Amino acid sequence: MTGPENAAIVPWLKDLPKVELHVHLEGSLRPTTLFRLAERNGVDVGASTPDELNGLYQFNDFEDFAKLFFTGLAVLRSAEDFADATVSLAAELAAQNVPYAEVTSTPLTHQRRGVALEEYRDGLNEGRRRARADYGVDLAWVCDIARETEDPESEATIGYLLDSTAPDGVVGLGLGGIEAGFPPELFASSFARAKASGLASLPHAGETVGPESIWGALGSLNADRIGHGVHSLADPDLIAHLAAERIPLEVAPSSNVALKISDSLEAHPLGELAAAGVVVTINTDDPAYFQTTLTDELLAAHRFHGFTRTKLVAAQLAALNASYAATATKLRVRAELQRLLPGGAEDQRGQTTRT
């Protein structure tokens, strides 16, 4: 799409208040941040400059990406490292006018690398404090289970989250990692404990495996949202269920393209999911590795999938409604977004009339 509207929407999108529900802390380390932390800790990341490191952010499939992702984890060792990583993400979010985000992190992966969970907790707590104080960004945590490394019977991650050493601001239990071979049903007991304790069930499903994974997350994990869920279109009954029950999907188009799940942004099923009545939220997943931003993802939704300004605002309202933000945050951000809808204050000044 070309023309004045397509050009004019870029500054409008930068100013649009946004909500991110699916971004991994460990996947947000831009080359400059990762390189700085690597130098601090004497970690060889296979590059001598941030620009050279940026050239390594290439992969052919999920498994290939996972290898690079775990290489990057080596730079996170101390509370200071985790705090700095969190603040770097907050600065990026603030620059895009993202006042609230739910950030996924995998605590037991760091413990297995030799990081003390107290260091992890203190770093996340300090980073979250500085995100609010320095950038006005409110962060919440989704701590997830790495499917391929946690014995389901151990309930290790949920045990940690219910312990006094867990970070502040945890709103949900996630399930990530390699999906194939590790169905949601294996982790039902951990998610039952999470739900009983008041935490949300926020698993990845239907990213690299078909509808059966999503059905498993809904049935066995009582999922409140589904991370990705793009393979749901293969099952009309599942689509009808997601739409009827208003179960949000956390869709990340550039991630799906980078991992060869979708051929291109144009061919991505985002528009088809929205047209089917499914609640879709738009996210970045691992923005550093996929070289994207939330603003970029919304621009692609506009260019390729028919998301008008009104629909882009509605998508942010959907994300806000699906979030576990504090009531005061929800009220403030909702008021800002509603002013941008037709008939709102901005529309009455003639600034959002083209939808």
- SS3 (DSSP) at 48: coil
Q: Which of 207, 250, 297, 336 is catalytic?
A: 207
Give the DSSP letter string of 265-317.
Answer: TTT-THHHHHHTT--EEE--BSTTTTT--HHHHHHHHHHHH---HHHHHHHHH
Does the annotation count 207 as an active-site position? yes
Q: How far apart are CA 134 and CA 123, in angstroms?
A: 16
Closest to 252 measured CA to CA, from 236, 238, 269, 235: 269
| Distance (Å) of CA 177 to CA 190, 204, 285 | 16, 8, 13
Half-sphere CA count of 244, side-chain side, radius 13 A:
6
CB burial of 300-317 (b: ≥16 within 10 Å; e: otherwise) equals bbbebbebebebbbbbbb
Q: How far apart are CA 57 and CA 73, in angstroms?
A: 14
Total count of residues recorded for the chain: 355
What does the H/E/C string look like for 73-96? Answer: HCCCCCHHHHHHHHHHHHHHHHHC
Residue type, 182: F
- SS3 (DSSP) at 252: coil
- Chain mean position to CA 264: 20
Active-site residues, by number, are: 207
